[in-house]
Structure 1
Amino acid sequence: MKKLLLLILLVSHLALGRDILIGDRINLLISGSSEDKVREAFQAFEIEDIRESEEGSVVTLRSYHPGEQVVEIGDKRLVFNVKSSLEEGEREIYSDLSDGSARTLAKPRFPWIFAGGVLLGLSSLMYLLVGVIGRRKKKEQLSPREKFYGNLEDLGEDYTYRISYLTREYADHLMGSNLLSGRYEKSEGAPKELLHFLGELDSLKFARRSEGDREELKDRARELIESIEKTCNIGEAKEGSNV
């Protein structure tokens, strides 16, 4: 039996004598061909739907490729002339879309932006690490005297504890005592004024204090340490030494 193919409607544009444009919907009524044959014949098109009717298979498809499209199915040969919806001047602007080439319209910037962000982040991290390590080394290179007087000017909210710790640490260095252990009664050779001051600091840990108290305690700590330094013959002349 000879296969019969009927073209019922080639879009509504065909009835009006207009061209088929890219993306236009094309409806065909095909009889005498299986669905597999239809799909094989129209593989260059985008098939949206194939449904059965009393007359045959109703095929709905679109084409997104401009130019002449030839389809052979059964004993029929169909020619579709698909045209672009762009005007001549517009096709020049979007030449990469109309000449069939695979050229890239624009080089993507995303990889370069991402790489730049990564490099900037790594640079910031390295700068931070170098700064932290540099400050740590500088702090480690300070003499005990420099650490005491320097840290005494950089106290936090718990300044009573900090003043006590700094004073005991430097006093231990000067006198060879063990005030950092907290056992003041066994620290032989430590001035009574120093032991009394440290005990007072311990009692002030949980008391309400003002900014004036902070400055007064700092001054008393300096005076006591300076007195011990004089006893140990350490003074301003040795400011830059590692004593």
Structure 2
Amino acid sequence: MKIEGDISKNDIEKALKDYKISSLERDKDGTYTVTFTTYKVGENEIQLGDKKLKIDVVSTVGPDEKDIYEALSNPNNTYIETDYPHIGILATIAGVIAIITAFFMHLVDRAKDPYIIFKKGMSKVNDSNWKERISLELRRYIDNMYSTNFLGGEYNVIYPLTKEDIEFIKDMDYLKFAPNREGDYSEYKKRAFEIVERLRKEKKNSV
């Protein structure tokens, strides 16, 4: 769903709190693109700002798929349990599945970690894209950590951000629209990491 108008990322997340949001990104033109899922079949109503949206959700399960176990009602298909070490086998399989699931959940949690996302984004910074990329990754990290709207250009000073941090971000904005202005991008990259590391430290100390 593409969303236009005067609305924040936080407003969209609140409107879709009963749904599973797969992705929520702000495009360059200021609009939001959100992908979400639900298992609630029927008419769903979403209050988004001053608009009320109605979405009709239809099940993907067809009528011919609802009675797929009819053969089990036939006595001839009854399973007669014999003395096999099935309990041990099932326990082993369940244990392996639990380990694999925990591993993948760990990977999913890491993929959602704002710091991991920031470091991956910053690893792609180079001499040709640094004016846009450093600012983008820093503002995205701040929004993910504090539910702000820095990606939308709303630079509010909130603890533990300082006025110097805001000035640095504004300076990066100026660089994006000043193609003739040069600079040592490694210094800007270093400063962005210093800000993020300080914010991470403050977050840990407050927990």
TM-score with structure 2 length normalisation?
A: 0.40
The structure with the larger Rg is 1
